[in-house]
Structure 1
Amino acid sequence: MKKQQIKSDNDTLAARYQRAKTLIEDISKNHMVLNATLYPVWIKGSACFWYERKMWDSAATTNGAIKPGKQYRLVNAVSASNEIAFDHKQLANALEKAANKQVDPNDLPISAVAMTLNLSSSLPNNALQTIEAVRFTAFKKQWCFVTQTGVCSEISSIPKDWELSPDKKKAAFIKGHNIWVCDLEAQQDTQLTHDGEKDYAYGAMSTVWGRCNDVASAQVRWSPDSNKLFTLQRDTRKVLSLPIVHHVPADGGIRPQLEEIKVGYPGDEHAEQVRLLAIDVITGEIRPADYPQISATRNGYGFFSSQLGWWANDSQRAYFVDVARDYKMVQVVEFNTHTGATKVLLTEHSLTQINLMLGGDDYPTMRPLPETNELLWFSERSGWGHLYLYDLNTGTLKNTVTSGEWLVRNIAHFDQARREVFLQTAARDSTIDPYYRDLVRVNIDTSELITLTASNHDNVTIVQTEFSMGVARSYRDVSASCGIHPLGDFAVITQSRADEMPVSFLINRDGDKVMELEVADASALPSTWQWPEPVQLLAADGQTDIYGLVFRPSDFSPERSYPVISHGFNNPEIPWVGKGSFTNDVAGGWPTMDAAALAELGFIVVQIDGRGTVLRNKAFHDECYGSFQTASCIDDHVAGIRQLAQRFPYMDPDRVGITAHSSGGSGCIEGMLRYPEFFKVGVSSCVHDSRLMSAPMMAEKYEGLSGPKVEHSYAEERIDQLQGKLLLIHGMLDWCISPASTFRLVEALKKADKDFDMLLLPKLGHSHDPYVIRRTWDYFVAYLQGVSPQVWLG
């Protein structure tokens, strides 16, 4: 029996667009599902932590918009209690009086929160503890609220981008591209360097994308005795400039304005480098490391923020990690800050690329242990990502801490006293999704591994080094959050999967459940919400397991026939398929909600992480080596959709579209050109060309210094194969993926006399916006469903 094709009359289409809009708006608001991830902040010297609970029953109104209120909760892990942390109305009244501003107790306008306890030594284990003081930022000032007196007072603090010395008497900061030190007691500033300039800047953040890609902070590290600084001088003097034209200037001017940034492209003689040095704060002596300048490499964060440089406890020796520009070699180097002498302690080579972490937007997965002058080193030398313990006095390997056909995903905590490391691992259980994480603790000397929590779910504990936390920090006050108790006695877990509601709970160091903390509040989620379905498929090679998600519209009926959209991100550094639900997916909910919104318009949307992506073994990742654009192999997407169409007869294999976003945008073009008979419609937002990507970040990492492999060809060389409808979208201010990538395709399309559509946004950078999303929806509705999207606009 022939299935009825989905139809879209005016009213039906309008309703679908409205449902889709509701879902997509939640990406920025995160109001639809509350408390999907729990972010604990442990209070020093105790077994207590606080966290922020979102609540609809204390809703707040801002500028006429209703949003959930927030409540600060105090948890005592020993007594298993969960109480309100302090009197919110009392704090609101006190802050309102002190700041002369209106303050809503249901939505306290505070951030950078720190709490201290009122400890009572007479109580066993300090079991009944209360909050003594709350320090926070509000209205661009710092405050302290004392609960006993109910008084809120303004306090002074150093700027957040200053680096405080261990003795808390001095702070280093950057001014005029030079390093300064402030004596906090005498309130006196001293300039330590004098020859810094924009393109040769001391203590500077990495700008390998042409712009700073992290929270700005002084890239310096104090010696343990507070007398020296280990720092760098960023060198972009010979790096070529990239012009960015502001056709519609932000200042309201008419004449277009030119901005120039420094970016090294593949094959350029020069790319960003850093010179390493130490500065004696007492004498002002500068001691450069006797070592060549080193390449600034992935991940584009600060060198010291990424733990690529650190001190030994003797305040004389420092250490740094040197990754070669093509990522085929990495060295750990000792630096004698008294003499400038350097010594290579550890060298590792690869025929493809070396990864210091599995996720390209994570911070490196390693942990210096200065107390014992050791290093927990991450390596894929065995074909799987594992940890190795090195003696930094000799450079010798002391122990293979983890091993086997599974992965160390991140280091969550190190317990110095017990010499145990808490890890999130994956793929240890062959019967479940290999991307699902668990939590274990491992003795670094004996390699004894104890599982604390594991299930057929993604079990997440908060680790600041993960990309997902960078996303969370953009809209939540979570910079101080950590999932593991400072002494390793407890852990907070959020457990979810793409098709289940998240639950957060507390466990002890043996993995015993202490208490449930939160079940995500989905009261604002549409009653018609369709959970995505996790699927296991076979790659195009017929042997390799690959994994994905299938999204269906809320008015789904198996009796209908639906067009299909491949919703991808073909990038070798970042996974795309969500394993946890909502904010627990790879990018804070965006991939999940973007796909769910697209499905609401009457499509079956499929996400797949194909070969050539991260979070699997090295062979899986290396599938794309030599040709950046083959990441998340498009052959696997086609094979996966064909398998799904056989499994789900309501998927119409004759009406398939493809879309890809951001720096994963090449997948759409590759699909349209390599499978023109399969993909009928494509929307490519920010298509990339590896020749026009930052060399230190990705391009030379996956194609080497000599460029792509011989059989590689660029999309512009195969443009005559285009048959379907294609929409190209690019922001003209994109500093990450140059619009030149799209323009090269445009010129090739013109020469081949091919029809296509294009949308250029003169004020859009490397990001999405609602207009781009709506135009993407319209294009698929028009050309996969055959309906003019204008009918819903009225």
Structure 2
Amino acid sequence: KRFRHDLDDGREIIWMSERDGWNHLYMLDGETGQVKHQITKGAWPVRGVDSVDVENRRIWFRASGMNPDQDPYFIHYYRIDFDGTGLVAYTEADGMHEVTFSPDRRFYVDQWSRVDLPPIAELRRTSDRSLVMELERADASALLAKGWQYPEVFVAKGRDGVTDIWGIIIRPINFDPNRTYPVIESIYAGPHGSHVPKTFGTHASRTSVAELGFIVAQIDGMGTNNRSKAFHDVAWQNIRDAGFPDRILWHQAVAREYDYYDVSRVGIYGGSAGGQNAMAALLWHGDFYDVAFSSVGCHDNRMDKIWWNEAWMGWPIGPHYSESSNVDNAWRLQGKLLLVVGELDRNVDPSSTLQVVNALIEADKDFDFLLFPGGGHGAGGDFGMRKRNDYFVKHLLGVEPPAWERYVASDAEGDR
């Protein structure tokens, strides 16, 4: 969240700030650094600046949350004058937008979609935003004919009883509302972004897990980005929070809505920051989460890359680092945990996971561990995904996974 554009050799500066509680643009006096006036204003965040028209004193930017009847994460495109007047919206349809302007900005292509709506592309005239022609409208009928289902967008109140928490629900193709399904949450709560998908896709990685007999969910809890400063600041020096109080309330709200959503059997998986989150679920919320698959996690923010961790945990290092450390809190473990790490991970030091392993052993905790020789920053490829899936099948469905090597051997013999 940073933007600076100098005007008139630095006599004026367009500056991005959250000083009023939302991410907005301000005009500063370049000599004194004082705010001359606020350019954008409202209970919504600027998501980025696309261009600054110095000659006409206009800013072309992206924002979300300006449309109260839409998902607050949906990005829309706007223009505003330097003095904060003349706001123009170039997108309005209910979806996540991506706009490409012609070089002379006389026309633009607006492509938009949702998780439950295939992409639509339109050519529009910039001067009055009028529709010139529809360029394309994607057709998902072939997918739907095979039994594939759109994810469901679900909204529930967070820990404060006021803030909306947004997530998606993915069901298996053979979904039967008359039976119950264990729930698996795909988590990545890195404070640098928001992570729930907002555009159309098959979401194959999550769908493949659901096909095993689960319902898969993904949620953006408090502490993630692209809402208010207060929403984001939950993560400040408190990365262990990961929005879990909101996530659990969200799951419970879904269970009240749907009898088949079984929150007595809940798994969670994630990698990198999500790996830290997945293990943390069993440390601080083992009364709700039962099984976790944690890959290449940054389990202690004192030893991972400085630039990322200090952005959220601050400097100097204090007791709050230990309070959020999976290493220092490994003794709290409840439930079933599978830790995965690559030997040559160059993003998150593998020692981060090995320190957790050591702490769990010292605390006499039962867990599972998989090290990939020569492996990098990932979940272990196809083998790692199989181990993850088998782990959830065994511990949430209560089914012993097949002896897969028999099938591999059979396929090899068939090839010969």
Q: Taking structure 2 as the reference length, what is the TM-score of the superposition? A: 0.90
Q: Which residue of 1 aligns with 2:67?
A: 429
Deviation per residue, 1:481-535 (Å, 9 max, x gap): xx12233322221111111111111212122111112223547747221111111
Q: What are the residue-to-residue correspondences of 1:513-532 with 2, within 5 Å?
A: 513-520=131-138, 522=140, 525=143, 527-532=146-151
CA shift, 1:374, in A, is 4.4
Q: Retained in 2: the 8 A contact 1:528–1:554?
A: yes
1:583-662 mapped onto 2 (5 Å cutoff):
592-631=203-242, 633-662=243-272
Query: Aligned partner of 1:516: which letter?
Result: E
**What residue number does 1:766 align with?**
377
1:666 match: secondary structure = helix
Selected match of 2:83 from 445, 449, 453: 445
User: Where does the alignment leave 5 or more consecutive residues of structure 2 unmatched?
Assistant: 408-416
Q: Which is worse superposed, 647-656 or 764-773?
A: 764-773
In structure 2, how many angstroms separate the alpha carbons of the residues matched to 1:602 and 1:608?
20
Q: Quick one: distance in 1 between partners of 2:28 and 2:105? A: 22
Quickly say closer, same or farther: Cα 1:741–1:375, change in 2 above 3 A: same
Please state which structure has a larger fraction of its residues in helix. Answer: 2
* SS of equivalent to 1:690: coil
Quote the offset at 1:369 in angstroms.
Answer: 4.8
Aligned to 2:161, which of 527, 542, 565?
542
| 8 Å contact kept, 2:50–2:60 | yes
2:102 to 475, 481, 485: 485
Query: Do 1:375 and 1:389's aligned partners in 2 also have CA atoms closer than 8 Å?
Result: yes
Query: Structure 1, residues 331-365: CA drift from partner, whole Å, max 9, x if none?
Result: xxxxxxxxxxxxxxxxxxxxxxxx42xxxxxxxx4
Q: What SS does the corresponding residue of 1:624 show, helix, strand or coil?
A: coil
Aligned twin of 1:512: 130
Q: Choose 1 or 2 for highest CA Rg.
A: 1
Match of 1:418 in 2: 56
User: Do the aligned residues in 2 keep the contact of 1:506 with 1:514 (CA within 8 Å)?
Assistant: yes
Q: CA deviation at 1:719?
A: 2.5
- Residues 626 and 708 in structure 1, CA contact (< 8 A), matched pair in contact too: no
Report the Cα offset of residue 572 of structure 1: 0.8
**Structure 1 position 376 matched with structure 2 position 47:** no
Alignment correspondent of 2:414: none
CA 1:391 to 1:514, structure 2 compared with 1: closer, same or farther past 3 Å?
farther
Per-residue deviation at 1:761?
A: 1.2
Tell me the secondary structure at the aligned position of residue 716 of structure 1. Answer: coil
Q: Which runs of 5+ in 1 are unaligned?
A: 1-354, 357-364, 462-482, 583-588
Name the CA distance, whole Å, in 1 between partners of 2:31 and 2:325. 48
1:629 alignment partner, SS class: coil
CA distance in structure 1 between the partners assigned to 2:318 and 2:205 by the alignment: 32
- Equivalent residue pairs, number: 401
C-alpha contact 1:539 1:639 (8 A) present in aligned 2: yes
Contact 1:570/1:629, CA 8 A, preserved across alignment: no
* Identical-pair percentage: 37
Q: Is the 8 A contact 1:508 1:514 kept in 2?
A: yes
Equivalent residue, structure 1, for 2:193: 574
Aligned-partner Cα distance in 1 for 2:326–2:35: 46
8 A Cα contact 1:400 1:447, kept in partner: no
Letter paired with 2:69: T
What corresponds to 2:295 in structure 1?
685
C-alpha change, 1:453 and 1:761, in structure 2 (3 Å) is same
Residue 538 of structure 1, CA deviation: 1.3
The aligned residue for residue 712 of structure 1 is 323
Letter in 2 for 1:560: R
The residue aligned with 1:560 is 179
**Counterpart AA for 2:214:** F
Quick one: distance in 1 between partners of 2:10 and 2:329?
57
The 8 Å contact of residues 672 and 682 in structure 1, kept in 2 or not, is answered as: yes
Structure 1 residues 442 and 730: CA distance shift in structure 2, 3 A: same
Q: Does 1:788 align with 2:406?
A: no
3-state DSSP class of the match of 1:778?
helix
In the TM superposition, residue 450 of structure 1 has moved relative to its aligned partner by 1.3
SS at match of 2:73: coil
SS across alignment from 1:518: strand
Q: Residue type matched to 2:308 in 1?
A: M
- SS of 2:328's partner is helix
Task: Name the counterpart of 1:776.
Answer: 388
Deviation at 1:443, TM superposition (A): 1.2
Q: Residues 60-107 of structure 1: CA distance to partner in whole angstroms, max 9, x if unpaired?
A: xxxxxxxxxxxxxxxxxxxxxxxxxxxxxxxxxxxxxxxxxxxxxxxx
The CA distance in 1 between the partners of 2:359 and 2:275, in whole Å, is 17
Opposite residue 511 of structure 1, the aligned amino acid is: R
Query: Could you tell me how far 1:763 is from its partner in structure 2?
Result: 2.0
| In 2: Cα distance, 1:721 partner to 1:755 partner | 12
* CA distance in 1 between partners of 2:157 and 2:402 (Å): 39
**Counterpart residue number, 1:502:** 119
Number of the residue aligned with 1:737: 348
The answer on whether the counterparts of 2:97 and 2:112 sit within 8 Å (CA) in structure 1 is: yes
Partner Cα separation in structure 1 for residue 48 and residue 4 of structure 2: 8
Normalized per residue, which structure has more strand? 1
Equivalent residue number for residue 387 of structure 1? 25
**Aligned-pair RMSD on alpha carbons?**
2.3
Higher relative contact order (CA 8 A, sep 6+): 1
Deviation at 1:366, TM superposition (A): 4.0
Give the CA deviation at 1:368.
4.4
**Deviations along 1:553-610, whole A, 9 cap, x unmatched?**
011110111010111102111221011122xxxxxx8xx3322221121111111101
